[in-house]
Amino acid sequence: MDKALETMLANLQKNTGKSLEQWVAIVRNTGLVKHGEIIAFLKTEHQFGHGFANLVAHSTLKSDAASLSETTDLIAEQYKGKEDLFRIYQALMAEIEKFGPDVELAPKKAYVSLRRNKQFALIQPSTKTRLDIGLNLKDATPTGKLELSTSSNAMCSHRLQIEQPADVTPEVIGWLKQAYLLG
């Protein structure tokens, strides 16, 4: 279990007096089966913030990364039908592994989070022909392939779009390394 999740689970228990398992049981007893309905219930009936409500909703529906990884290789699922992009992902990872032994991968349903002390990047097969690299580079001026991020992921201030192996250039690796050093 990653440290952020451990902290969130401890805070859920501390703030509400109930464990995640207890909240999942409460939600299951309501009969709610839609993510949005569960979040609304927890926010209105139990004054949850969005983060805790989202955690309980995903755990209840078994749509969280931990539940999915019990039955599925998340990375393999991301690249099903996108094998050309998987080769680009592998090339990126070969370079990222050279940054240091403290790079931690946290596969999610739609992307792979890259962490050091905190999340510094994510790699996502956004379409069948494009891989997006989200970067945490808050004050970097966009130049070259680096552009401001328009994604809904608040962590990513910038983005790199990769469509072919030749796009994995020293510039791209340099931006990743800069985000790693800041993370």
Q: How confident is the model at residue 152 (pLDDT cuts 50, 70, 90)?
A: low
CA angle 92, 95, 98 (to 5 degrees): 145
Q: Bigger pLDDT: 24 or 62? A: 24
Q: How far, CA to CA in Å, does 7 sit from each of 97, 117, 127, 135, 149?
A: 26, 14, 33, 23, 28
Residue 67 has what pLDDT? Answer: 59
Residue 63 has what pLDDT? Answer: 65
Mean pLDDT of 23-45: 93
Alpha carbons 30 and 18: distance in angstroms, whole number: 17
Alpha carbons 73 and 65: distance in angstroms, whole number: 10
On average, the pLDDT of the chain sits at 88
Residue 70 has what pLDDT? Answer: 54
Please choose, from the candidates 55, 181, 59, the residue with its C-alpha nearest in 3D space to the C-alpha of residue 121.
Answer: 181
Q: How confident is the model at residue 105 (pLDDT cuts 50, 70, 90)?
A: confident
Structural domains of the chain, ranges and CATH numbers in brackets: 3-70 (no CATH), 74-182 (3.90.1150)
Mean pLDDT of 64-70: 58
Which of 1-5, 45-49, 92-96, 148-152 is predicted with the least confidence, judged by mean pLDDT?
Answer: 1-5
Alpha carbons 143 and 157: distance in angstroms, whole number: 14
